[in-house]
Amino acid sequence: MMTIEQLIQEFSNEQGFQFGIDIVMKSLRPNALYCLSASGGTFEIVSWDESNELPPPSLQEIRDEYIRHKTIKEFLWYLQSIEQMRRIA
């Protein structure tokens, strides 16, 4: 599992930290080849390339990692809003 620092470094751009199901999969299984289906908040791994070194993550792992990424994004947004408030004051 990637550390928080690694996640922020790897998945940030000029618009800040980015997250979503594709980034979650990249953080759980870097370089893995797969096909996902997502509908109504439910994710299903439709295909998983057997050449991948690790087995596919469970749906629970995907959900947990998504929540982790969302929490990181919210915390970074919170820190940014505090910094903006300090500049105004």
pTM confidence score: 0.81
pLDDT at 74 over 80: yes
Task: Report d(CA 82, CA 76) in Å as an integer.
Answer: 10
Q: Span 41-60, mean pLDDT? A: 88
Q: Where are the domains of the chain?
A: 4-88
Of 69, 78, 60, the residue nearest 3 (C-alpha): 69
User: Is 57 a residue whose pLDDT tops 90?
Assistant: yes
Tokens of 45: 């791994």
Helix, strand, coil percent content, the chain, rounded in steps of 5: 50, 20, 30
